[in-house]
């Protein structure tokens, strides 16, 4: 595993973004782990987060694209932070764009924040996580309604590695359904590998009991 991935896993723990317990996902699944990027709350945290996203995005998509689109609401700071990191570390000036939940009819009108989308623009979508691939079906029509843009793919922070609506992983389903690439900074397999029975700051975060709960979850929702 690359060093930056190990650092990102520890970063999520430090920021209280990666949590273990009893949760329910947006798709209604009861899960023993949860990733909530809403807990990145400081400028320093967002700067580091943007750098991790920039590494994953550049590794999969390169830097020859025009717009980083972050769906409202959590995608808004993600698109801003990652576009700044791409500028700082890769010397490319990528525009950021997000949608509003409500169309604004005065001042800066329309449904978009940040850059408009033009015909021919190459777009990478940035999100926090995807469980069943539900949100991408809401995001693509927003982009396509603006212009004849080409969506290169989707980057999330964590690949939960579970089934989408069928038997394949959500990211794999998105890739096959929409015909573009998908990637993540880390996978849950990376998380378990790095934290299982290994002390971090004097504490075992994933012990045998939690590992069993994660395994049981994947017995139900994991890719067969």
Tally Cβ neighbours within 10 Å of residue 183: 17
The H-assigned helical ranges of the chain are 3-14, 43-61, 75-90, 134-146, 170-178, 188-195, 208-221
Q: Which among 26, 30, 104, 165 is annotated as catalytic?
A: 104
Residue 89 a catalytic site member: no
46: closest CA among 93, 6, 86, 80? 80
Tokens 């997000």 sit on residue: 98
Give the gyration radius of the chain's Cα atoms.
18
Given 101, 106, 201, 224, the catalytic residue: 106
Catalytic residues, by residue number, are 104, 106
């Amino acid at each position: 595993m690359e060093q930056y991935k190990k650092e990102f896993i520890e970063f999520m723990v430090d920021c209280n973004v990666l949590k273990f317990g009893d949760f329910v996902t947006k798709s209604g699944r009861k899960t023993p782990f949860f990733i909530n990027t809403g807990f990145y709350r400081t400028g320093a945290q967002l700067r580091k987060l943007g750098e991790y996203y920039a590494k994953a995005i550049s590794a999969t998509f390169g830097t020859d694209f025009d717009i980083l689109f972050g769906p409202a609401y959590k995608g808004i700071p993600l698109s801003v932070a990652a576009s700044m990191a791409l500028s700082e570390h890769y010397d490319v000036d990528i525009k950021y764009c997000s949608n509003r939940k409500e169309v604004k009819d005065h001042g800066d009108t329309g449904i978009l924040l940040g850059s408009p989308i033009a015909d021919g623009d190459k777009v990478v979508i940035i999100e926090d996580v995807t469980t069943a691939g539900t949100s991408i079906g809401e995001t693509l029509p927003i982009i396509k309604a603006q212009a004849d843009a080409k969506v290169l793919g989707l980057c999330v922070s964590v690949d939960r590695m579970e089934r989408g609506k069928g038997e394949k992983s959500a990211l794999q389903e998105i890739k096959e359904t929409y015909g573009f690439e998908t990637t993540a900074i880390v996978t849950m397999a990376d998380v378990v590998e790095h934290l299982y029975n290994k002390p971090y700051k004097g504490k075992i975060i994933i012990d045998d009991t939690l590992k069993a709960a994660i395994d049981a979850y994947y017995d139900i929702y994991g890719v067969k």
